[in-house]
Structure 1
């Protein structure tokens, strides 16, 4: 089978390896689609926290090819989607209910491959059988949507609140949709006009095109009563300067969600006086949890978002680098690798 391996910055290679054999509790999935992701882009362009070489890709859906001893929830031929982690429920953080901080998260990287081995813990907790009418592309959105669902759940969005989402990439667009569904008035900011148009389709009441000369903070505050700022600011770019702008956009008593991961070693500067006296809440959020994965899958079954809005061009696995580079240029929201071509 063919499988992509990450060897370092701008170095992803397609290799021929044996189809994996499942051990007890494990499942092998024959992937039908894999979606490109912002994390893949960051990994390809600037490296990641794991030392290469290692597998790459984590947004896939396919058909069960083989099951290991003891697997009863799934059978060969089932159409499935598997999340990329499942917590241990044994460590300090799991026992505190902070499942995204689990110290023993099995990494389910390796979705850019014709076949993928799914660890037992994921099989038992964060793998789902697809409804007959759910396209594979729709199911493959489970992981990114789960991250947005988790992030949205961590901020106190009330009916009628004003929320700004900075960055209309895949996750930012999902935040926009979820905030809209929670009854918020949503403001979207991005440099890309096409993405702002999609933000409007997904529920943004106002859009702000970022270009030279635009005061992003002032533009947001002008859309709020008395110019006080938004109730919630969601940062979805991973740029330190945008972290600082998001902090400046919230009203006294507001909440800032720092979701976009920055480059390792990055620091930001925040106004400590305002932080203290305006009682700003700032939250850093990473990854997701099983309950939010399940919620995301249910939302996808309900059609809360549609893959046609997020998935653009199709590629073969041999052309993975081209798919990643097109995504990195911002020309698409996501691309899809298809294996039945």
Structure 2
């Protein structure tokens, strides 16, 4: 089979590998589609915390190719989507309901990445976070499971009430999903980005106000100007993964408001914080990473309800040999997501 391996920043290669054989409780999926992701872009540009070479890709859907001993939930030929992770359910953090902090969290993409014709899915993910694709749902729609689960988790972790104003900074795939989920939860959403095309989609997904940051001198003030008495937003969400946007988000929250940092930055970066502002304005600063099994299940239900549509999120199709081109086009901001397609 063909698969993508990461060797170093800006060095990914298509290599031949054996089709995996599932052990007890595991399954092998023959992928039909794999979507590009902002994490893939970051990995391609600067690597990851694991030592290369490692595999890549974590938003995929396909058909069960083989099942291991004891698997009864799925059979060969089933159309399925598997999330990229699973928590242990036993450690301190899992017992506290903070499964994204699990000390034994499986992140399958770095061992069995989805940029491959066949993908091995470990037992825990099979049991916890793999789903039958219902009739009428496309593979592309199903493959949106992981990012939507992350956006759902982040939205629920953000403290706002129905009718409150929320600003989402960054209208990439995750930012757009945040916009949609906040809108469905009853927020008045402001969207900030530097792409008119993405801001137009943000409006379609529920943003009532949009700001192209290229058109304003002070992004935080421009957001404040759209709130009553210019007091600032009830919650500011950072979904760009840039330290300067972390700082801007801090300046647009109202006294007593919250700032959610979801976009991961390059390792080792720091952001200055005005301690007087945080203290006297009683700001809540919150970091959120990844998602939980409960939100993965909720995301799959939302996909079945067509709360978001792959038609809005997935643009161009490429063969696996053009994965680098697909990732670079994603990085350019000209598309929301691209799709690697495999013959069925």
> In which range does the TM-score fall when normalised by the shorter chain?
over 0.9
User: Is residue 113 of structure 2 the alignment partner of residue 83 of structure 1?
Assistant: no
Which residue is 2:25 aligned to? 25
Which residue is 1:39 aligned to? 39
User: Is residue 215 of structure 2 the alignment partner of residue 219 of structure 1?
Assistant: no
Aligned equivalents of 1:52, 1:330: Cα separation in 2: 27
Which residue is 1:113 aligned to? 116
Aligned equivalents of 2:96, 2:307: Cα separation in 1: 31
The answer to whether the 8 A contact 1:157-1:182 is kept is no
Which residue is 2:284 aligned to? 281
Please show how residues 109-258 of structure 1 align to structure 2 within 5 Å: 109=109, 110-211=113-214, 213-258=216-261
Which residue is 1:51 aligned to? 51
User: Is residue 307 of structure 2 the alignment partner of residue 304 of structure 1?
Assistant: yes
Deviation (angstroms), 1:157: 2.2
Secondary structure at the counterpart of residue 75 of structure 2: coil
The answer to whether the 8 A contact 2:216-2:222 is kept is no
How many pairs were matched up?
Answer: 341
Aligned equivalents of 2:44, 2:153: Cα separation in 1: 25
Comparing 103-112 with 134-143, which one deviates more in the overlay?
A: 103-112
TM-score (norm 2): 0.98
Deviation (angstroms), 1:132: 1.0
Deviations 1:253-288 (A, max 9, x none): 101100000000000011111111111111000000
Which residue is 2:2 aligned to? 2
Which residue is 1:272 aligned to? 275
Structure 1 residue ranges (4+ consecutive) displaced by more than 2 angstroms after TM superposition: none
Identify if the C-alpha distance between structure 1 residues 213 and 199 changes in structure 2 by more than 3 Å, giving closer, same or farther.
Answer: closer
Deviations 1:47-98 (A, max 9, x none): 1111110010000000000000000100001100000111011212112221
The answer to whether the 8 A contact 1:2-1:14 is kept is yes
Q: How well do the aligned residues superpose, as a CA RMSD in angstroms?
A: 0.9
TM-score (norm 1): 0.99
Aligned equivalents of 1:97, 1:325: Cα separation in 2: 36
Aligned equivalents of 2:335, 2:95: Cα separation in 1: 40
Stretches of structure 1 that go unaligned for 5 or more consecutive residues are: none
1:322 to 321, 325, 336: 325
Secondary structure at the counterpart of residue 124 of structure 2: helix
Deviations 1:1-57 (A, max 9, x none): 101111110011111111000000000000000000000000001111111100100
User: Is residue 110 of structure 2 the alignment partner of residue 104 of structure 1?
Assistant: no
Deviation (angstroms), 1:213: 4.9
Identify if the C-alpha distance between structure 1 residues 202 and 213 changes in structure 2 by more than 3 Å, giving closer, same or farther.
Answer: closer
Stretches of structure 2 that go unaligned for 5 or more consecutive residues are: none
Aligned equivalents of 2:204, 2:118: Cα separation in 1: 35
